[in-house]
Structure 1
């Protein structure tokens, strides 16, 4: 996505359109290879259940990255992301089927700051649960 979001066009309350990001087991295997995080709770159902999880779960940082994509795609420039904070509040459970799971992310501008910066509050849900809490991003707009 390429977009040019201008500071002058954005007000507090401006909503970033919701996006749904699919998460399948193959995505987790690829992420494990890229990140070096091969913890079996992210790819092995037996191990995940043995430690008390309902099934394989997505890497927290993978989930965080999907929420970050909402903002960087909206702005049109990953380099515009100045600050990004989240708290993990629930896991993204990824069943072993064709569909996998989905992470639904939305955002709203909560504050306009000096220097063409805005603070965006993010909401991320999966399987009916809020998976990221107190998630905010500060981005520099054109």
Structure 2
């Protein structure tokens, strides 16, 4: 179901749970799907003994992809026109992630209506792990 500008207002917030308990298996599956086998994401011994992190951690693009799915679920397939993020904190195995999209503006260009969104994803401790923006074409 597509969003309608007539039913939105600046400040409206859409939220979704992305994952309840991110597993190491999900991280490795993403490595396989993306072709990114950086040992920081897949090799516990390298990550802890060589790099000095407490554990392997998720690819930023995995978090971006899950957050992007929240956006397309909200605005509708094929309607997202812009999406950019900044990774602000690491995502660890066991994390639960929640994402939000806040209506920043509703605009018209070339006879089409768009919604601009501020996007954020946080972990179970309220720590922001991703911040960004999105724009989507919506119905009037």
TM-score (normalizing by structure 1)? 0.86
For residue 64 of structure 1, report the CA deviation from its aligned partner: 0.7
1:137 aligns with 2:134: yes
For residue 45 of structure 1, report the CA deviation from its aligned partner: 1.6
Aligned length: 133
For residue 127 of structure 1, report the CA deviation from its aligned partner: 4.5
Q: Aligned residue for 1:122? A: 119
TM-score (normalizing by structure 2)? 0.87
The answer to whether the 8 A contact 2:15-2:98 is kept is no
Q: Aligned residue for 1:59? A: 59
1:15 aligns with 2:13: yes
How far apart in 2 are the matches of 1:25 and 1:92?
A: 11
The answer to whether the 8 A contact 1:18-1:107 is kept is no
Q: Aligned residue for 1:104? A: 98
How far apart in 2 are the matches of 1:44 and 1:107?
A: 33
The answer to whether the 8 A contact 1:103-1:126 is kept is yes
1:25 aligns with 2:24: yes
Three-state SS of the structure 1 residue aligned to 2:2 is coil
Structure 1 residue ranges (4+ consecutive) displaced by more than 6 angstroms after TM superposition: none
Deviates more, 1:18-27 or 1:4-13: 18-27
Unaligned runs of 5+ in 2: none
- Considering only CA atoms, is the larger Rg found in Structure 1 or Structure 2? 2
RMSD (CA atoms): 1.4
Q: 1:132 to 1:62 in 2, by over 3 A?
A: same
Q: Aligned residue for 1:43? A: 42
How far apart in 1 are the matches of 2:61 and 2:19?
A: 14
For residue 38 of structure 1, report the CA deviation from its aligned partner: 0.7
For residue 15 of structure 1, report the CA deviation from its aligned partner: 1.2
The answer to whether the 8 A contact 2:18-2:67 is kept is no
